[in-house]
Structure 1
């Protein structure tokens, strides 16, 4: 009997990665998951997944090439999901965020030089949309790249790091004959598998508690469900015709509309005051991904599943 297919997922204990690991195990893959500490209680949820006997956790650091190489050895594919996303601001983002994102990505790619069929890199819509020269009336697609200088000057360090690391990854892969596909998700919502709160979910929780959040400054939300992101990652890995970058985005809506939808579903939360400055709603296309067969969970289902998960875990209280 042939051995099951073997892949590696970096940052396996994270929000998106946990759902990806769950999906891969359900499809019969053997999964090598990299984490900073396999014995850390925040990774125990991974050992409770169905088919967890096929999950092998490796202690690894993005800046430690040898540890990454050991985790990737024997794998036919690699999903590079790990990336520092701050819940709070870094004291020195150029030191604390950029090296793990850029140098860590290059270390992963270098470790893929032997035997890896395809690498899927999780980038971000933040590496796509911050481009002031892109016409407002033109649909944003995979040809649009964020302006690095604008991101750096504006202090958008996450967008800057994602843009730089994706560009470096594309250049390195082309120079070294690697099959790299990148996925650029928008703001990710959906139920949690991991016990810790990640950055995008932290924003959602604070909003439901009645606190103004940084996302409100942009007046528009671009959303995708975490389970749809996991599906997209496996899809672009499996489809032989997949190539280049893919925007992974489901729903665009004004902050006021999002607030109204939540109030209709959950009227007892103390929502912050939402005002609409009538900024144009930029159109973002996931058509390229949808042509591969990608489908999305309805927005209302995604919101309800997310909030219900918060309530079930006592992360939120409606009283």
Structure 2
């Protein structure tokens, strides 16, 4: 989070992908989630602005910076013009969404101020095979459900998207000169109760939960408009069955299930 710490890393490169952000706070919310999300993003952008070689920056934001608002159902399909309501996020303790929303807004402010060519990808809930040594935060939820570690599943309605489609969208965002602004990257929206039923049908011997955790604020029915991404050549997204199969097979191969 130290300004200038990315100067050397971005010097001499044509494009920069900034993809990392904390998901769950550990202790102090401001110090462990909000500050890294916001200051980390702005520091990357300021370093890019100092480099004469960087032509474009692609930032991974989230549909969480779009869909958390009281009118998400009536406004659906939600698109790039919509933003999550910070008061809504605070009311329901949706701190990841709060951090992503503030960080993205600040990224746009800094990009405009410093003349940076910024394109933002807004993925929904990313599922698929592991790309890292340890499961990501989103895959840890599926792992815990499959292992019966929790008595309930999340009371959440969310779009799901395969990691392959997220990668393809990032490549297009960087390489296609037509790409601009925000890009919603999401497949169909499901409630976690539907995901659990799909998993039970495929893996009946696993001790999957039968009840919902009842948490409020995250279950509003909605849909996402992906027409902007499709206009750039990504015509279809992989389905939920393929996402879950690829995810679970990867977890099994790595010894996490």
Give 2:37's aligned residue: 101
Tell me which of the two structures has the higher relative contact order, counting C-alpha pairs closer than 8 angstroms and 6 or more residues apart.
2
Provide the C-alpha distance between the structure 2 equivalents of 1:79 and 1:123, rounded to a whole number of angstroms: 11
8 Å contact from structure 1 (residues 191, 309) kept in 2: yes
Gapped regions of structure 2 (runs ≥ 5): none
Q: Distance in 1 between matches of 2:153 and 2:84?
A: 18
What is the DSSP-based 3-state SS (H/G/I as helix, E as strand, rest coil) of the residue aligned with 1:217? coil
- Pair 1:221–1:67, CA change in 2 (3 A): same
* Match of residue 250, structure 1, among 187, 190, 198: 187
Structure 1: distance between partners of 2:160 and 2:211:
18
Aligned residues: 250
1:236 CA displacement: 1.0
How far apart are residue 136 of structure 1 and its match? Answer: 2.2
Q: TM-score, normalised by structure 1?
A: 0.73
* Alignment gaps of 5+ in structure 1: 1-62
Asked whether the equivalents of residues 259 and 274 of structure 1 are also in contact (C-alpha less than 8 Å), the reply is: no
Paired residue secondary structure (2:155)? helix
State the shift of 1:142 in Å: 0.9
Cα deviation 1:29-51 (Å, max 9, x = unaligned): xxxxxxxxxxxxxxxxxxxxxxx
TM-score normalized with structure 2 length: 0.90
- Name the counterpart of 1:111: 47
Q: Which SS does the other structure have where 2:110 is aligned?
A: helix
- The answer for the alignment partner of 1:31 in structure 2 is none
Give matches, 1:15-26, under 5 Å.
none
Contact 2:18 2:58 in 1 (8 A): yes
Change (3 A) 1:215 1:78: farther
1:1-319 residue pairs with structure 2 within 5 A? Answer: 63-86=1-24, 89-113=25-49, 114-134=52-72, 136=74, 138-212=76-150, 216-218=154-156, 220-274=157-211, 281-294=221-234, 295-316=236-257
1:64-91: per-residue Cα shift (whole Å, max 9, x none)?
33330100000111001121222xx421
Q: What is the DSSP-based 3-state SS (H/G/I as helix, E as strand, rest coil) of the residue aligned with 2:255?
A: coil
Measure the CA separation in 2 of the matches of 1:99 and 1:70. 22
Shift of the alpha carbon at 1:150?
2.0
